[in-house]
Structures are given as structure tokens and as C-alpha cells.
Amino acid sequence: MTRDEFRLQPFDPAWKQSWKEGVAQFTPRPLLVYATLPLTNPPFRDSDDVRIVRASDQKELTECFHAAFADSFEYCDYSPGKIRGEAKKNIAEYFGGQRGEPLDASRVTLDRTSNRPTGAALFTGFDAHVAKLEMLFVHPKRQRTGLATRLVAGSLHSLAKAGYQTLLSTFMLGNQTSRRWHQRFGFNEEPDLQLATLHLKRLHSMRFLQQHASSAAPAEEALLGTSIRHWETEVTRLESALAQGRDTDAYAWMRFRIFSDRPA
């Protein structure tokens, strides 16, 4: 690929993009998005194929995690063996309490015929007021049937009853499925300078490509201009927070102090 061809590649914040001596390189950007959901009087929801997680689920959930994440952005540069190892490690860490105190609100969905777990929503206590959706996964054969929605919706009442006011969740910027799921469920993405800057860079790249191809209709150009102004304002707001020493206002990871950049 020539340098000029590389310049015409759309910028995708989920990937680090570089060019050297005719070769373009795209590597996954390990950036977490933080999202929160207020737990204000969530209704009680129950269903006959959802139950509380048991310690004896560990083996089946390891298999299910592996199947769900095998093709994911998170592990796109991992060998199959390493993905299996990560499945084992992540689930063992959850059950062993290394990721925080496992909460009773954690749920699995069960296959109605075999009674085997087909997905899970695993929660930990983050602090006295905040619970964390530590892991969420559904077996690929059962995805897009509303299971993740029912799993989490079925846990909210229990979390609120235990005194939690906010549910925190994180996902990799490149995991578009997870991002769409969180948006659809009602999570709000937390303000973050790094994310806002990348988002703005993507919009500038779109405008550059539009201008290069002279392809955009005036309405599209106007819409893009509005988005750019919105994100410029947001970047300026967060940069000024940083300049005033309010780092926790500028960076979501500082507000929540989570250092891991791997799932889920």
C-alpha cells in the first residue's frame, strides 16, 4: 500500500494504524469504554430458564465463555490455545474472588432441554454503592435471542435490594457487539478524554475523506459538522478539567480505578 493509499484509509479508533515502507499495520487498541446504569427502583423480573450462579457451574461457564469470546475483538490476536487459557483464568478468577467479591445477583441462563448453562451475567461488588458487571457472555448458538438482556434485567432488582445505586460495566472499544448491547440496554458511556479525542479524530478523518471524494450531500456535511463541533466542545471541556488538576473528571479509568485492559 502506498503512503497516499494509506492516508485514504478511514480512521477507526479501535485499531492502531501505522504505515512503514509500503506496509500498513493495524493492531487492536486495548482501550476500555466505561459505562454506567443507575439502579433506580428496577422491577423484579424472573424467568424459568434463569437461575443464580452456583460454584458447580465453573466448568460449563468456562466452555461457554470460550465459545462466546473465541471470535471476539478482545482475543483477535490470541492463538486458540491462549484463548482457552484466558477462558479458564477469567472464570477461575471470578469464582476465586480475585476480581472482587462475587455477588448473589449473578445469573446463568439454562438450555431448556439439557439444563446446561448457555450464558451468564457475573457481578462483583466494586464499592459500597457500585456493582460491576464483571462478565457477560452468551453462547454463539443462542445469541440475539434476548438472553443477555434477560440475564442482566433479571439481576437489577437484586443489586438494588443489596444497596447498590449504580451498575458499572466495561468493554473494549473495538467490541461493537458489546457496545451496541450496552447502548440498547440503557447504559451511558462515561466521559473520557482519550475516547473523546479518538472519536473526534474519526470524525475529522470522515470529513477529510468526504472532501477528497467530493461525495457528501450538503445535509451529510452539515450533520458531520455538527458532530465535530459537539466533540470539539467535549474535548475542550475535558482538557480544561485536566489542566485544572481534575484528572478524575477527564479520565473514566481514574474515576473507577480499574487497570485491567482485558475483558469483559
Ligand X SMILES: CC(C)(COP(=O)(O)OP(=O)(O)OC[C@H]1O[C@@H](n2cnc3c(N)ncnc32)[C@H](O)[C@@H]1OP(=O)(O)O)[C@@H](O)C(=O)NCCC(=O)NCCS
83 makes contact with ligand X (CB under 6 A): no
Q: Which stretch binds ligand X (CB under 6 A): 124-132, 170-178, 224-232, 242-250?
A: 170-178
Distance (Å, rounded) from C-alpha 64 to C-alpha 120?
Answer: 9
Q: Alpha carbon 213 to chain centroid distance? A: 33
Binding residue for ligand X (CB under 6 A) from 34, 171, 187, 256?
171
| 133-152 binders of ligand X (CB under 6 A) | 136-138, 143-149
Is 177 one of the binding residues for ligand X (CB under 6 A)?
A: yes
> CA-CA distance, 44 to 40, in Å (whole number)?
12
Distances in Å between the Cα of 10 and the Cα atoms of 59, 70, 81, 174 are: 42, 27, 33, 15
**Distance of closest approach, residue 24 Cβ to ligand X, in angstroms:** 27
Question: Helix or strand or coil: residue 263?
Answer: coil
What is the number of other CB atoms lying within 10 angstroms of the CB of residue 162? 14
Smallest separation (angstroms) from ligand X to the CB of 110: 14
Q: Tell me the HSE value of 106 on the side-chain side, using a 13 A CA sphere.
A: 27
Q: Is 61 in the site for ligand X (CB under 6 A)?
A: no
C-alpha cell at 79: 492463538
One residue of 161, 184, 212, 229 binding ligand X per CB under 6 A: 184
Q: Is 262 in the site for ligand X (CB under 6 A)?
A: no
The residue within the footprint of ligand X, chosen from 36, 118, 178, 205 (CB under 6 A), is: 178
Question: Which residue in 74, 261, 43, 11 sits closest to 158, CA to CA?
Answer: 43
Site residues, ligand X (CB under 6 A): 68-69, 72, 136-138, 143-149, 171, 175, 177-178, 180-181, 184, 263-264
